[in-house]
Structure 1
């Protein structure tokens, strides 16, 4: 046996000894130790939407599909940025961030209204450093070939990906939103002070969940 073989054997022995010591400290032997069950890792959301979503928020490293409801998307951005999370919005020119300015933190929001001819390339870059990335685009289904690099970036990062329009294979959760009530508008006067959004959540394995999300002023009972 030459000197190189002796050194390699010695290093391998030390690594095995360290692994055995770590297993003993954790209360398990090297032979029967098993990895702990993975916990649900989410970008937490307060209120109604958090109660409807599995784990209380948007799952990191997974895709959530959202219907084209700008008010609901803006509320997601506001709530997550207000809690200190970093959010990116790609390809949504019409999305107003006025609600985010009032309820969230615009300094933690990156907006790319026109991502150019290859919008998914921009999204892939943003997945590496954000907590939430919202990708808005045409309603179509990405082929497995086009979806593969996106999913690889998503799983290698820490962000939750929300798609509005495009569908990615393997999407775990679908969220629908529809504004049902506007408050604050009188007979030709006033401004919108509050809205209600009917929200539905569907998962592959769970029962559909439904609820109402209220933004702004709440409904008040008034005496005639």
Structure 2
């Protein structure tokens, strides 16, 4: 990612010369203040939800991701990047914590300027995500392997999320009773023939579940198979 306008922040790892937690917090807050004059000044979609577009909105309660709550999301990088793209292109601000392998190639230069990445959060990924939740619209908290939080372990994160304004997306980080569960499975590859060709796009079957909420999955087509346009349609039940 060197040479791109993404606001990439790598915090010092635990060990000799590491930053203290207070110094990490100060860095993140300073970075938030730099985002186009302050991301916290205006939220997209109002107080309750971060809106998403197309049929994907029909899959989600109230047409988007709930603010000040946790959404559990499957480890599907293409779905996460599509969410980041939609939110930033609508004028929102996003952050990603603990996902150095995630590719931002699908985001425009303007979208990258609205993105804060903390690929190696060092001392405390949960605390870093909580700080970002104070001033962004969507924050992704990722772990390389699955982590199951007890209610006591999840309490500090949930408190920060409720105090901020972001929709918190947890990937491989399970908290008790998330507000929403969202998953995606690859349904089809585009551009591959029998023994030849290359992947030009993929279809993702996206579903979401919340208390009292059930809708048919949506088919999300990503990649050059769409001519640069994301297509969304409902999957027949």
Could you say whether these structures have the same fold, taking a TM-score greater than 0.5 normalized by the shorter chain as the test?
A: yes
Q: Secondary structure at the match of 2:152?
A: helix
Larger Rg: 1
Higher relative contact order (CA 8 A, sep 6+): 2
2:138 aligned partner: 132
TM-score calculated relative to the size of structure 1: 0.74
The more displaced of 104-113 and 209-218 is 209-218
Gaps of 5+ in 1: 1-38, 220-224
TM-score, scaled relative to structure 2: 0.70
Give the root-mean-square deviation of aligned CA atoms. 2.1
Q: Distance in 2 between matches of 1:208 and 1:163?
A: 21
Match of 2:178 among 171, 182, 187: 171
Residue aligning to 1:56: 63
Could you say which residue in structure 2 is the equivalent of 1:107?
113
Name structure 2 gaps, 5 residues minimum. Answer: 1-45, 228-237
SS at structure 1 position matched to 2:146 = coil
Q: Does 1:146 align with 2:153?
A: yes
Aligned residues: 180
**Which is strand-richer, 1 or 2?**
2
Report how far residue 187 of structure 1 moved.
5.8
Instruction: Please tell me whether the aligned partners of residues 47 and 165 of structure 2 are also in contact (alpha carbons under 8 angstroms).
Output: no
CA 1:58/1:149 → structure 2, altered by over 3 Å: closer, same or farther? same
Query: The residue matched to 2:106 in structure 1 has which SS?
Result: helix
Extract structure 1 runs of 4+ deviating beyond 6 A: none
Q: Aligned residue for 2:83? A: 76
